[in-house]
Amino acid sequence: MKAQLQIYMSPKNNQLFPGFKFVKSSGGIEEYTLQKNDLTVLVLEDHSAPVATLMVTYHVGSRNEAIGYTGSTHLLEHLMFKGSRNFNKEKGTAIWTELQNIGAQINATTWNDRTNYFEVVPSEHLERAIAIEADRMRFAFLRDEDRQPEMTVVRNEYERGENSPFDVLDKNIWATAYLAHPYHHSTIGWRSDIENISTERLQEFYHTYYWPNNATATIIGDFNKAEALALIKNYFGEHNASKNNIPEMYTEEPEQEGPRRTVVKRAGQTGVVGVGHKTQEGLHEDTYAFQLLGKVLSEGKTSRFYKTIVDRGLATSLLMYDFPLKDNGMFITYIFLTPDTDHQTVEDIVLEEYKKIINGGVTKEEIARAKAQTRASVAFSRDGSYAVASALNEAIAIGDWTFYTTFMDHIEKVSTIDIQRVAKKYLVEEKSTTGWFVPKTKKMG
Amino acid sequence: MFQKQKRWAEMGIFKKQVIINAEQEGLKTLVMPTGVKDVITFAGSFLGGSLFSPETNRKIAPITAAMMDKGTLSKDKYTISDILESVGAELNFSSTRHHVQFAGHCLKDNIETVIQLLAEQLRTPSFPDEELTTLKTRMVGNLERLKEDTKQQAMISFLRSLYPQNHPNHRLTVDETINHVKSVKKHELKRFHEKYYGLGNLIFAAAGDVDPIQINETLGNQLNGWGEKKTSLNFKGLKARLNKENETKIEIPEKTSMDMYLGQAVGIDRDHPDYYPLMMAIYILGGNFSARLMQTVRDQQGLTYGIGSSLAGVSFGSDGYWSTWGTFAPDLLDVGKNATMEQILNWYNTGVTQEELKAKKTTITGSYKVSMDSTGGLTAQILSNAEKGRSVEYLDQHPDTIRRLTLDQVNSAIKNYIDPNKLTFVAAGTFTDE
C-alpha cells in the first residue's frame, strides 16, 4: 500500500507516446495529456480478464445548473445516446446497437460534479467504444425531435424516484440544507424544468462543457497501452480544445447559522428519519476521518448505530453516506423505522451517539476495525476493470484522480483524535438538517 | 490487432482454470484463480430453501438462514461480527426458493479464518430467543414497506395469477408472509436446521487470488464429520394454471409511477430443448436496451423509463413464465400498455428477423466474456452452473449453444409457447380514472 502514496513524475521505463505528454503516475495508473486538445487520459493495463473498460468523464454535473435548467445535465446525458455524426440509426450504427451487439455493458450516469459515459467491452472491441465516445464528444445530434420523447422518459425516471419515500426525503433534506449552492437540487432536477427546458438550452449546455479539455478518458483492463493511446489520438485527436474557457461555478453556500428541519407527509407504511450535517469539500484532509467515522457508526453489526437502533428492533435498516464532493458535502444518516417506532426516539439516539463521539471519541479497537474494513474495500475496488474505472470516476469528479490511489495511505494516518476533532467541528446542531418521512394513515391496496 | 485477446476468445477458460476437488463427503469445491491481487470472492449453497419449509409456514427456511449470523454455541453475534469486521471480510447468509446460500469476500490472508467461521456458523447455530424476536420485528417492517412498492405488488399478483399455491413460482401475499414470520417458533428453526443443514449437496465456489489446495484442505478440515443429508428436489408434479385472459389492478395511493406486468406461463423448464430458442425470442423482444420494446416504447415513443421482457422461473424442473414489465406515469398506463401490446403482437405475428438473431447471438456471447470482469461475476456463474448439476465445461460451451440457434427454431418457439390472447395483465399504483 505504501507504494501507492508515491506519485511518479516520469513514465515507467521512460516510454514515450507520440502526441501525448506524460503527466504523472500513481498506483500503476498513468496520466497523459493529448497535446492536440488537452484531453486528459488515464491508463492501467490489467490482463486478468479479456475485458476492457473505457470511461469518459466530463467535468460537468448538476452543480453547473441553475433555476430554470435543473436536470439539464442529466437530460443531455440521455440525448447523447440519440445519435452522432457517425453513429446513428439512419446509418444503421445506433450507439446502443453497436455496443450491445458485441455484449458490451454500456451506460452513463450524471451526478453533482460529473457526467460519465462508459463501455465495458470484450477487449478486441475497445476501438469501437473509443470511436463512439470521440464522435459524440463534439458531434452529437441533440435534435428537438429526439428531446420530446426523451423528456417523457426522463420524467418517468423522476416519477419512479418520487415513488420512493427515501428518494423524496433525501431530495428535501438537500434542498433544505443548501439555499444558494446548486447542491440544493438533485441531479434529476425539478419536474417543471425537465418538462420545459428547450433543446436550444441543452445544445448551449453541450457546446459549453463537452470539450476534450473538460474531459478525462480512462482505459482500464486488457489492452496494449501503445495501441490504445494510438487509438485515442486517432479518434479524439480530431477535436480542438474549446476556444472559450470552461465556466467556473462560483456560488458559495453561506454559513449555516442554525438547525433546519423538513417533514414530508405522504401515503406510506413506515417512517424514515434522516439526520444530515454539512461537511468539508472532498479533497479536504478531514474527509478521511469522516470516512472512518461513518464505518464506526454504521458498518457491520459491531457498529454503534446497529447496536443502538437496529439491534433493538427500532429500525429495519440504516444507511449512512458522506460521498466526497467537489464542494462541501453532507454526512447523512437515514434510519428506516419499524412500524411501531416513533421518529423522535430514533432521532434522539442518533444525536446522542454523535454527542458521545464529540465528548469521548472512538476507541482504538473501533478505528482499527474501520481501517481494516477500508483496506478490504480498497482492495476490492481493484477487482475488475469497471470497478477501477468507477472508483477513479468519483475521484476525477472531485478534482484529483490520485484521491483514489492515495486514499488508503491517508486513511492509515487518521487517529482517534482526528475523528473526535471532525465530530466536534461538523456534527453540531448549527450545521444540521433533519428530515422525517411521515406516512399518512391511508389504507394501502 | 490484439493477438493476446484473440487467444482469450479461443480458450475454454472455465475448463482450464476452474479447479474442482473430487466430490468428497458431499462437498464440491470449484476454485478459479485469476490475475486479481489479494482479494477472494466466494459463494456456496445447498438444498434447503423456502420450498423445503413446511407448507404451513414458508418462512421457516429463510428465517433459519437469517439466524446463521446471530450466534453459535461458542460465539455470540458480536464476536462473530468482530472476527469478520476486524479483517474487513463479509459473510452473508440467505435463502432462495431452492437453496440456502452463503456469500462473501475477504483478503486472501484471511480466507482460512473466514472458512472456519463459516463452518462453525453453519454447523452450530444457537438460535438465541432475543435475536429471533428482533429479526421478526425487522422482517415485518420490511414487509410492511413492500405494500407500497408498486413493482413488488404487481409481480406478486402476476405470479399468483399464473401459479397455484405450493408451486415453486407461486408467491404469498405480503399479509400471508407477515403472518408466517410472526408465527415462526425457535424449535421449528432448530428442527429445520437439523434436517437440511449438512453435507450431501454442498457447493463452494471461489475466484480471485485463491489457492485451491488451501481452500480444499480448510473446508475438508472444518466440515469433517458434519452429517450428510439426503435432500433432493421433487417439485416437478406441480404445474401452472391454464393461461387465460386476466386483468388485475392494485391501487396504491399517491404514487407517481405505475408498474405493469404482462405475460403468461410457458410450460417448459431450462432443460427443455426449446428453452434456448424461446429465451432468444424473448431476448429479441425485450432483453436489453437495443431490443424491440426499449427501442420502440421508450426510445421512439417516450412512454417509459424502463421496459423489458424475460423468461424466468425455469430452474430445477419448474415450468416457467414469460413476463413483460414496464413503468408508466398513471395517465400514460393505457397508452403504454397498448404500445407494448402492439410490439408483442407484431413479434408474435411476424417473428424475428435473421439480422436480429445474428445481433443478439453476438450480444450474448460477448456478455459471457464481459461477465468475467470481476471475481463476483465469475463466482456467481460458477455456483449457478454447479447448482444445476452441470459441468464447468457447460460454461465454455454456452456461447456455441447460442451460436447454433436457427431462425426457424426461434420463430417456432414463439408460435408454440406464446398465446397473445391469453395474457395476464397486472398494474399497481395510483389509477387516474374510475
Average of per-residue pLDDT across B64-84:
97
Any B CB within 8 A of A44 CB = no
* Residue of A339, A369, A382 lying closest to B85 (CB–CB): A369
A264 in the same domain as A232:
no
A270 in the same domain as A131:
no
pLDDT at position A324 is 96
Q: Name the CATH superfamily, with its identifier, for domain B17-223.
A: Metalloenzyme, LuxS/M16 peptidase-like (3.30.830.10)
The residues in A 315-354 lying below 8 A from B, measured between CB atoms, are 315-317, 336-339
A278 in the same domain as A228:
no
Q: What percent of chain B has pLDDT over 70?
A: 96
pLDDT at position B85 is 94
Same fold, B17-223 and B246-429: yes
Average of per-residue pLDDT across B100-117:
97
The candidate with the shortest Cα–Cα distance to A219, out of A58, A41, A395, is: A41
Q: Do B4 and A222 touch (CB under 8 A)?
A: yes
A14: confidence class by pLDDT, cuts 50, 70, 90: low
Flag whether pLDDT at A444 surpasses 50.
no
B166: confidence class by pLDDT, cuts 50, 70, 90: confident
A313 in the same domain as A219:
no
Residue A195 lies in a domain: yes
ipTM at complex level: 0.90
Q: Do B86 and A445 touch (CB under 8 A)?
A: no
Q: Measured between CA atoms, how close is B414 to chain A, in angstroms?
A: 22
A266 in the same domain as A222:
no
Give the A:B interface size as CB pairs under 8 Å. Answer: 246
Quick: pLDDT tens for A88-118: 999 999 999 999 999 999 999 999 999 999 9
Q: Do A162 and B134 touch (CB under 8 A)?
A: no
Q: Do A49 and B34 touch (CB under 8 A)?
A: yes
A201, A236, A271 - which closes a domain: A236
A151 in the same domain as A28:
yes
Chain A residues inside the 8 Å CB shell of B34: 48-49
Flag whether pLDDT at A8 surpasses 90.
no
Flag whether pLDDT at B1 surpasses 50.
no
Chain A residues inside the 8 Å CB shell of B332: 152, 156
The residues in B 59-98 lying below 8 A from A, measured between CB atoms, are 69, 77-78, 81-82, 84-89
Average of per-residue pLDDT across A361-378:
96
Any B CB within 8 A of A394 CB = no
CATH of domain B246-429: 3.30.830.10
A431 in the same domain as A302:
yes
- Rounded CA-CA distance B249/B423 in Å is 14
Quick: pLDDT tens for B171-221: 999 999 999 999 999 999 999 999 999 999 999 999 999 999 999 999 999
Average of per-residue pLDDT across B332-359:
97
Chain B residues inside the 8 Å CB shell of A153: 298-299, 302-305
Q: Do A156 and B329 touch (CB under 8 A)?
A: yes
* Residue of A96, A127, A337 lying closest to B290 (CB–CB): A96
Residue A250 lies in a domain: no
B5: confidence class by pLDDT, cuts 50, 70, 90: very low
A188 in the same domain as A71:
yes
Any B CB within 8 A of A301 CB = yes
Q: Do A48 and B36 touch (CB under 8 A)?
A: yes
Q: Do A376 and B133 touch (CB under 8 A)?
A: no
Strand partners, B39: B107
Question: What CATH number is given to the structural domain containing A225?
Answer: 3.30.830.10
Residue A251 lies in a domain: no
Chain A residues inside the 8 Å CB shell of B5: 50, 122-124, 222
Flag whether pLDDT at B7 surpasses 50.
no
- pTM, to two decimals: 0.93
Quick: pLDDT tens for B83-95: 999 999 999 999 9
- Across chain A, mean pLDDT equals 95
Q: Do B360 and A123 touch (CB under 8 A)?
A: no
Residue A306 lies in a domain: yes
A192 in the same domain as A145:
yes
- Supply the range of the domain harboring residue A218: 2-236
**Buried b / exposed e across A131-160, counting CB within 10 Å, b at 16+?**
bbbbbbbbbbbbeeebbeebbbbbbbbbbb
pLDDT at position A50 is 87
Quick: pLDDT tens for A399-442: 999 999 999 999 999 999 999 999 999 999 999 999 999 998 74
A1: confidence class by pLDDT, cuts 50, 70, 90: very low
Q: Do B375 and A382 touch (CB under 8 A)?
A: no
Average of per-residue pLDDT across B302-313:
97
Average of per-residue pLDDT across A265-287:
96
pLDDT at position B3 is 34
Average of per-residue pLDDT across B284-296:
96
Flag whether pLDDT at A53 surpasses 50.
yes
A59 in the same domain as A189:
yes
The residues in B 159-218 lying below 8 A from A, measured between CB atoms, are 208
Chain A residues inside the 8 Å CB shell of B354: none
Average of per-residue pLDDT across B51-77:
96
pLDDT at position A16 is 83
- Rounded CA-CA distance B426/B151 in Å is 10
Task: List the single residue in A with minimal CA-CA distance to B173.
Answer: A445
With H, G, I as helix, E, B as strand and everything else as coil, classify residue B348: helix
Chain A residues inside the 8 Å CB shell of B141: 270, 315-316, 336-339
Q: Do B5 and A50 touch (CB under 8 A)?
A: yes
* Residue of B256, B304, B370 lying closest to A162 (CB–CB): B256
Q: Do A157 and B305 touch (CB under 8 A)?
A: yes
Residue A222 lies in a domain: yes
Flag whether pLDDT at B250 surpasses 90.
yes
- Across chain B, mean pLDDT equals 93
Residue A244 lies in a domain: no
Chain A residues inside the 8 Å CB shell of B377: 384
Q: Do A301 and B69 touch (CB under 8 A)?
A: yes
| Domain count across chain A | 2
Any B CB within 8 A of A48 CB = yes
pLDDT at position A445 is 33
A265 in the same domain as A230:
no
Task: List the single residue in A with minimal CA-CA distance to B135.
Answer: A313
Q: Do A104 and B106 touch (CB under 8 A)?
A: no
The residues in A 3-42 lying below 8 A from B, measured between CB atoms, are none
The residues in A 180-239 lying below 8 A from B, measured between CB atoms, are 221-224, 227
Residue A319 lies in a domain: yes
Strand partners, B249: B427
Flag whether pLDDT at B10 surpasses 50.
no
Residue A248 lies in a domain: no
Flag whether pLDDT at A2 surpasses 50.
no
* Residue of A47, A155, A266 lying closest to B254 (CB–CB): A266
A293 in the same domain as A210:
no
Any B CB within 8 A of A153 CB = yes
Chain A residues inside the 8 Å CB shell of B329: 152, 155-156, 159
Quick one: cell of A235? 479518434
Average of per-residue pLDDT across B293-319:
96
Strand partners, A30: A25, A43
Task: Say how many C-beta atoms besides its own lie within 10 A of residue A2's C-beta.
Answer: 8
pLDDT at position B24 is 67
B11: confidence class by pLDDT, cuts 50, 70, 90: low
Q: Do A315 and B141 touch (CB under 8 A)?
A: yes
- Domain positions in chain B are 17-223, 246-429
The candidate with the shortest Cα–Cα distance to B63, out of B139, B120, B122, B121, is: B139
Instruction: Decide: residue B115, CB within 10 A, 0-12 exposed, 13-18 middle, 19+ buried.
Output: buried
The candidate with the shortest Cα–Cα distance to B388, out of B300, B316, B298, is: B316
